[in-house]
Amino acid sequence: METRDLPDVLAIENISFPNPWHETTFRGEIQNNDLSYPLVVIHRNLDKVIGYIVYWKIREEVQINNIAVHPDFKSMGIGEAILGDVIEEARAESVHYISLEVRPSNTAARGLYAKLGFELIGIRRNYYSNPDEDAIVLGMSLS
């Protein structure tokens, strides 16, 4: 992800989430080279961003912070491919554990995470707003 990608990223973010990240948040992730890995998926023919993921790698752990695919490109395996690539990269870099949070109401994402092997590790009470929801915390051991 680069600064020039932000208009497309923000459009996807705003259409995908009821409480979207602000542009400054994405800029901070782009600039945080020591910790943050913001990646985009670019449609070759359209030359535009159609999906993205932002994750942190801290020693032997990865935290998935944000992932989205433009609604026009959902159900095409793009989200699975993005997350699958991150999992494989994490394995190659000797990461031991990956975690993420998801809204209980986001059944599509929960199905994808279960398909890829993520398991329930806990609940964060009142984690989300607009609407208020707990977060389901999922994790996957890679070792």
Length reported for the chain = 143
- Is residue 113 among the annotated active site residues? yes
Sign of CA dihedral 36, 130, 73, 6: negative
Q: From the CB of residue 136, how many other CB atoms can be counted at a distance below 10 Å?
A: 21
- Is residue 101 among the annotated active site residues? yes
> Which residue among the candidates 37, 52, 113, 128 is catalytic per the annotation?
113
Backbone angles phi, psi at 141, to 5 degrees: -85, 135
Residue 8 contacts residue 48 (beta carbons within 8 Å)? yes
> Which residue among the candidates 80, 89, 101, 127 is catalytic per the annotation?
101
Round to whole Å and give the CA distance between 102 and 37.
19
Which are the catalytic amino acids? 101, 113
